Chains A and B, each alone.
Chain A
Amino acid sequence: MNDDYLWDRSGSPDPEIARLERMLAPLRYRHRGDFAGAVHPRARWAWAAVAAAAAVVVAAGLLATAIPAARTTAWQVSQLQGAASLGGRQVALATALGAGQLLRTAGSSQLTLESGEVGRIDLGPDSELRASSGRKLMLQRGRLHAFIWAPPREFVVDTPSARAVDLGCEYTLNVDAAGDGLLHVEMGWVAFQYHNREAFIPAGAECVTRKRQGPGIPFYADSSAQFRGDLAAWESGDAAALPAILGAARPRDALTLWHLLTRVPEDARAGVFDRFAQLVAVPPQVTRTAVLRRDGHALELCWDALNLENTGWWRGWERPWK
């Protein structure tokens, strides 16, 4: 028995160890956020009591201004620089975000929202955010930085062109005036969804989303400008850009190639897979034929071969190509 795979995953995968790794993946640790969410339950209660007291004081002050009645969410303004409005009224510290109300920051302003059970959100200048509920927000325009400690898949941010599903992470989402967006993941994972299109974006990677098209192909932020440019060209319909993408791909860009496997036309799939297999140690049970017909199990094994961290959540994902 060769123990190289057990030691450092080099050499041929030991089938039994690989099976155990897959089986045990749901138990693997997934990052949920930083210490803002690491407060001991007792301390959390104490914080909640302080926050509630502060809210009562501020609410008394707000009675005079009487923000229109709206079902409030757990999101409250915890920091404010400059000016912001909620439902057309001026925002103050401890203002609660009401469902359906539009929160708008001024050109040079920014604010922080906190929800004890969900996480923390920094809303950048000239941004518009609307809450459907405590766990579902809509970023219509601007920049949102999220630090989420709610369990994976419970918190989503909709944009005009895609839905960002938190998978236990920290990320920044930008939406321009046209409704197109750019997501950058700093920690953990985010899934981008639009109809039957999905993209899985790990820490260090980015993904563009376009109105009426949904999420594009994720790429690592440290990839070359040429690689990203070619990817953008391919996504805008230039099929001739594909060979340049494949040629410039580094081993970690196999993430991009894996997503391409699920998106390219059938006649281009072989080229993508061949390059993928050069960059990643594809398990021996994955056949080229199976990948070319987009066999769900083969694609899953290719995903496993990416050897990305903390992807236990992926086992329960929709994965529309299956």
Chain B
Amino acid sequence: MSVEPAEDDALIRGAAGGNRAAFGELYVRYARMVHGILLVRVPPGDAEDLVQEVFLSAMRQLRSLRTTAAFRGWLGAIARNRAIDYFRNRKQNEPLDQAEGHAGRIHPGAVEACQVLDLIRSLPEAYRETLVLRLVEGLTGPEIARQTGLTPESVRVNLCRGMKMLRTLLGENQ
């Protein structure tokens, strides 16, 4: 998916002005980025629901955003905060013995995928999101850089180092 930043900026301005169609288009473009950030932190079965909550929250707050350039980082921050809230709410609402090891609603065929995801989650923080965005969400390095606001150089380093560590972990777990 190739997205021109200028085109994105126009959508962000439109969405901030109340244009629902523009916001819908931003949703289509950024949902995978948000989902990847959530997937690093919450059970896979719940990540999709949270994507919609993140965008709903963003839609309510978008007018407060000062510059379009801040949108990408801002949206990512909302996703990370929503993941924190997710666990905070769970701790408040669930008995302690049910609060850990919650797999969420996942397809039975995704068990192997969840095992690999667990390995990715065990990597240093800097590599987790980048690898999930690349391997799970299917974004390329340039797309990850554009969507997250990281520099292409940082993304490339994160991908290479993260993948190297993941290969080691996969070898140890075979």
Contacts and interface: CB of A to CB of B under 8 A. Distances in A.
A316 B113 CA distance: 14
Given A16-B167, A20-B116, A187-B28, A26 B110 contact: yes
A8 B159 CA distance: 11
A26 B24 contact: no
B140 A7 contact: yes
Given A29-B32, A35-B23, A316 B107 contact: yes
Contacts of B117: 24, 27
Given A6-B159, A32-B48, A309 B28 contact: no
Query: In the complex, which range does the number of interface residues on chain B fall in?
Result: 35 or more
Contact of A34 (B27, B35, B137, B160): B27
B163 A6 contact: yes
A38 B23 CA distance: 13
Contacts of B110: 26-27
Interface in B22-36: 23-24, 27-28, 31-32, 35-36
B163 A28 contact: no
Contacts of A309: 1, 32, 138
B147 to A, nearest CB: 13
B53 A27 contact: no
Nearest to A26: B110
Interface string A279-322: 00000000000000000000000000000010000011000000
B95 interface: no
Query: In the complex, which range does the number of interface residues on chain A fall in?
Result: 20 to 34
A25 B138 CA distance: 8
Interface in A228-249: none
A315 B108 CA distance: 12
Name B's interface SS. helix
Contacts of A35: 20, 23-24, 27, 52, 55-56, 59
A29 B31 contact: yes
B160 A8 contact: no
B56 A40 contact: yes
A31 interface: yes
B53 A29 contact: no
A17 interface: yes
Given A32-B48, A38-B53, A26 B31 contact: no
B31 A23 contact: no
Contacts of B1: 309
Given A24-B116, A29-B51, A6 B31 contact: no
Contact of A27 (B23, B24, B114, B160): B114
A260 B116 CA distance: 35
Most buried by B among A24, A38, A39: A24
Contact of B24 (A20, A23, A34, A39): A34
Interface string B145-159: 000000000001001
A21 B135 contact: yes
B121 interface: no
A17 B31 contact: no
A17 B27 contact: no
Given A27-B113, A35-B59, A8 B27 contact: no
Interface string B102-116: 000011011011101
B105 to A, nearest CB: 9
B41 interface: no
Contacts of B51: 29
B44 interface: yes
Most buried by B among A7, A21, A25, A31: A7
A203 to B, nearest CB: 9
Contacts of B44: 27
Nearest to A29: B35
A37 B47 CA distance: 15
Contacts of A195: none
The 5 closest A-B pairs by CB, nearest first: A38-B52, A29-B35, A26-B110, A7-B141, A8-B140
23 contacts: A6-B134, A7-B159, A9-B140, A17-B135, A23-B113, A24-B113, A25-B113, A26-B106, A26-B109, A27-B44, A27-B113, A27-B136, A29-B51, A34-B24, A35-B24, A35-B55, A38-B52, A38-B55, A40-B53, A40-B56, A309-B1, A309-B32, A309-B138
Given A17-B135, A28-B32, A28-B35, 6 more contacts: A6-B141, A6-B159, A25-B113, A27-B39, A27-B110, A35-B59
